[in-house]
Structure formats: structure tokens, C-alpha cells
Amino acid sequence: MIPLIGLAAGIVIGLVLSPTVPLWLEPYLPIAVIAALDAVFGGIRAALEAAFNDKVFVVSVLSNVLVAALIVLLGNQLGVGAQLSTGVVVVLGLRIFSNVAAIRRHLMGA
Amino acid sequence: MSEQQSSMPVSTRHAWRRLGRLVRPRLSTGNVLAALMTLAVGFALVTQVQAANDVALDELRETDLIALLDDVSERADTLEAEIRLLESDKRALEQGSGTEAAEAALTRLTSHQILAGTVPVEGPGVTMTVEAREGGFTPTMMIDLMQELRNAGAEAIQIGAVRVVATSWIGIEDGTLLVDGQRVEAPFRIVAIGDPHTLSGAMAIPGGFTDSVRGIGGNVQVVEGEQLVIDALHRVEEPQYARPVPSE
């Protein structure tokens, strides 16, 4: 429950403050957000499977964000930033889909 | 809800129960940490969404900028080509075909006016003076003359003070020649505009008009001229019955 409240609070804070993204963060933020979303859906799925662990969740969010940022950084350094970003988004999107499908199976049995 | 749950498989019931447990607030370090994480996720999500909604040019990546630049220059090229096309069209309309069409129409109008006899004309041709005895002259001879002159390429003919046009008719009244209903007293003065040599040559053909006039004891005098004027005009009357067939 508290994590859900945290999510809602984060959205509200973002809407109220509407901060400007710093220039150095600009390429990493979208990928980081998608990676974090992947972790959130994975956490919900783990909770429904009674396998949720706070520590694992925190570490997975942080590591997802870090790895995503690293991949983007590496891609930008190699000159294939756009392509690598697309690849990361595709992979994370697939994971989000499969997590959501698992959640749906748990809750609806279908 | 309870009915629904009873019809559900066991694992689904467990999942709902776990969801219910999740919704219950449990204060623990891990939970607070997770909440912090989700707070950050929500914050970043909204921030990114808002940033993506209003992307300024200076925040775009190099590749995006290049793509944008390509797009813009391509559109500019297309528009430039269109401008060139339209301007050449404009020029063509202003100087080329427009005035050409007007000139062609003017030329056509002029030749129609000359054919209809509504304008005075000048040019090279022949002047004929025909003396004939009273009574010996027939309309047929006059028609022969007109045919011979036209055959020789006469573009405008005047008999006496009458312009000869497509509708002109010749008659005799009381021994006096009538052209288009107007009396023409002998000696007739006939002016024809065309190539002077051809016209005078046509008048000299044996068995032609000159011979016929001499046959009745008259005389024909043909004088070539370089600058003759036909000033007799024909009044064009509005056709009463004939109408042009509408063009398709």
C-alpha cells in the first residue's frame, strides 16, 4: 500500500513542480523511466506470487535504472545511441507486457 | 465478490488475497524504501512525460536535429521547386502564350475585316478602266471579271464606289450596271488589290474579260500600281437566319 501511495505522491509532486529536465539527464530519463516501470510491474507480479521482497524490489529498480542509463551512455559513445535506445525500449516493453500478462493471469485466471 | 471468488480457481483466490494484503499499510523499512522508489518512479515518469510534450530544439539529440533539418530542407526544396514552376507559368502567361493568342486573334480579326469589306485597305494591285457601249454589257461579263480577278489572287475588289464582298451581286437596270443594288455608270473604274503582275496577266488571257469587252466594241485599260487604296466599305448586316453551329 505504501509503495502505491508513493507512486501516486510522486506523480502529484511531478505535476505540481513540473521540473525541467537537466540537459545531461535528457537522454537517460526516458529509458530510465521505462526500466523503472518494468521493475514496478515485476514487483506487482512478485507480490501476487507471494514472492515480493522489499530489498529485491529496491535493488531491481535501482539496477534497472542504472543499466538502462549505462546502455544509453555506451550507445551514445559508440554512436548508436538511437538504435540502442530503441532496442532497450523494445526489450523492456516486452518484459512489461509479459509481467502485465502474468498479473492478469493471477487476478483473472485467464 | 464472494460468488465470483468461489467460482475462481484456488491460485486466483490466493492472488486476490495477496492483493488485499498488499493494500493494507504495513510500515517497515523495506516498504518505505519501496515507496521511495515508486515515488521517484512516479516523479520521473511525469517529468519525462512533460518534458517530451514540449521539446525545445536545444534539448533534442543530434540525430533528431539532423532528421529535423533534413525534413525541413526537403520541404524547402519542394516548395522552391513549386515556386519556380509557378513563376515560369506566370512568365509564360504574361509574355508568351497570352500575347501570342492576342496577336493571333488580332490577325484573324484583320483578315476577317478585309474579307468582309468593313475596313479600307491599301496595297499593290491593278486599276482597270472599262469603257463599254451602252447596252452591250451583260452581268455575266462582270461576274466573269470578278471570278478572274479572284482566281488571280485579288484580296479586295472595288467596282465604281462599291466594295465587292462575298454577298455582292451584279445586275443590269435600264442598261446600267448594278453592283449590290448601286448604279455604276460607265466608264467603270475597278480596283483590285493583289499581286499586280498576276492580276494584269489574268486580264490579258485570250477569251477572258478584256476580250469579251472588246467583242462588244468597248475598251479595257489595266494599270498596275504599287500603292492603291480601296476605301469603299461594305455594311455588314446581322444574319437573320444563319446561326453558327455550337462548337463541341
Q: What gap in Å lies between CA B192 and CA B153, rounded to an integer?
A: 9
Q: What gap in Å lies between CA B146 and CA B142, rounded to an integer?
A: 6
- Name the band, by pLDDT with cuts 50, 70 and 90, for residue A107: confident
Does residue A65 carry a pLDDT above 50? yes
> Under an 8 A CB cutoff, do A107 and B16 touch?
yes
The answer to whether B217 contacts chain A (CB < 8 Å) is: no
- Asked if A48 and B19 touch (Cβ cutoff 8 Å), the reply is yes
Q: Which three cell numbers stand for residue B166?
A: 462575298
Give the mutation candidate from B48, B53, B58 for the A interface (greatest A CB count, under 10 A).
B48
The complex's ipTM works out to: 0.78
B76 residue type, one letter? A
- Write phi, then psi, for B123 (nearest 5 degrees): 155, 180
- Name the band, by pLDDT with cuts 50, 70 and 90, for residue B187: confident
The answer to whether A31 contacts chain B (CB < 8 Å) is: no
How buried is B165 (Cβ within 10 angstroms: 0-12 exposed, 13-18 middle, 19+ buried)? middle
Q: What is the mean pLDDT of residues B186-202?
A: 89
Predicted confidence (pLDDT) per residue in B46-60, tens digit: 888 887 776 667 667
Helices (H), A18-53: 29-48
Does residue B29 carry a pLDDT above 50? yes
B50 residue type, one letter? Q
- Asked if B125 and B193 touch (Cβ cutoff 8 Å), the reply is yes
pLDDT for the residue numbered B135: 67
Q: What gap in Å lies between CA A49 and CA A45, rounded to an integer?
A: 6
- For chain B, the structural domain boundaries read 2-53, 59-116, 122-230
> Under an 8 A CB cutoff, do B31 and A2 touch?
yes
The answer to whether A20 contacts chain B (CB < 8 Å) is: yes
Max CA-CA distance within chain B?
147
Top-confidence residue, A50 or A78: A78
Does residue A15 carry a pLDDT above 80? yes
Tell me which chain A residues have a C-beta less than 8 angstroms from the C-beta of B14: 50
Predicted confidence (pLDDT) per residue in B77-91, tens digit: 999 999 999 998 888
Helices (H), chain A: 2-17, 29-48, 54-78, 81-108
Predicted confidence (pLDDT) per residue in B93-147, tens digit: 777 666 777 888 888 898 888 888 889 999 999 999 988 776 677 888 888 888 8
Sheet holding B156-159, edge to edge: B162-164, B156-159, B188-193, B121-131, B219-230
CB neighbours (10 Å) of residue A31? 24
The answer to whether A37 contacts chain B (CB < 8 Å) is: yes
pLDDT for the residue numbered B121: 92
pLDDT for the residue numbered B3: 41
> Under an 8 A CB cutoff, do B47 and A9 touch?
no
Q: What is the mean pLDDT of residues A37-41?
A: 89
Q: What gap in Å lies between CA B118 and CA B237, rounded to an integer?
A: 11
- Name the band, by pLDDT with cuts 50, 70 and 90, for residue A84: confident
- Name the band, by pLDDT with cuts 50, 70 and 90, for residue B9: low
Nearest residue in chain B measured CA to CA from A44: B19
CATH architecture of the domain with range B122-230: 2-Layer Sandwich (3.30)
Write out the H or E segment, with its range, that includes residue B1.
none
Proportion of chain A above pLDDT 90, given as a percent:
13
pLDDT for the residue numbered B98: 67
The answer to whether A106 contacts chain B (CB < 8 Å) is: yes
- Name the band, by pLDDT with cuts 50, 70 and 90, for residue B2: very low
Q: What gap in Å lies between CA B149 and CA B157, rounded to an integer?
A: 8
Judged by CB atoms within 8 Å, which residues 47-86 of A form the interface with B? Answer: 47-50, 52-55, 57-58, 61-62, 81-82
Give the mutation candidate from A28, A48, A108 for the B interface (greatest B CB count, under 10 A).
A48
Q: What is the mean pLDDT of residues A26-46?
A: 87
Nearest CA to A40 out of B45, B46, B24, B20 is that of: B45
Q: What gap in Å lies between CA B116 and CA A61, rounded to an integer?
A: 100
> Under an 8 A CB cutoff, do A19 and B47 touch?
yes
- Name the band, by pLDDT with cuts 50, 70 and 90, for residue B238: confident
pLDDT for the residue numbered B56: 66
Q: What is the mean pLDDT of residues B65-78?
A: 91
> Under an 8 A CB cutoff, do B18 and A47 touch?
yes
Residue B58 DSSP one-character state: G
Q: What gap in Å lies between CA B96 and CA A53, rounded to an integer?
A: 85
Sheet holding B176-179, edge to edge: B170-173, B176-179, B182-184
- Name the band, by pLDDT with cuts 50, 70 and 90, for residue B7: low
The pLDDT mean for chain B works out to 83
DSSP line for B184-237: EPSSEEEEEES-HHHHHHHHTSTTSHHHHHHHTT-EEEEEEEEEEEE----PPP
Kindly report the nearest CA distance between residue A54 and chain B, in angstroms.
5
The pLDDT mean for chain A works out to 85
The answer to whether A6 contacts chain B (CB < 8 Å) is: yes
Kindly report the nearest CA distance between residue A106 and chain B, in angstroms.
5
Peptide bond into B187 cis (omega under 30): yes
Predicted confidence (pLDDT) per residue in B210-225, tens digit: 888 888 888 888 999 8
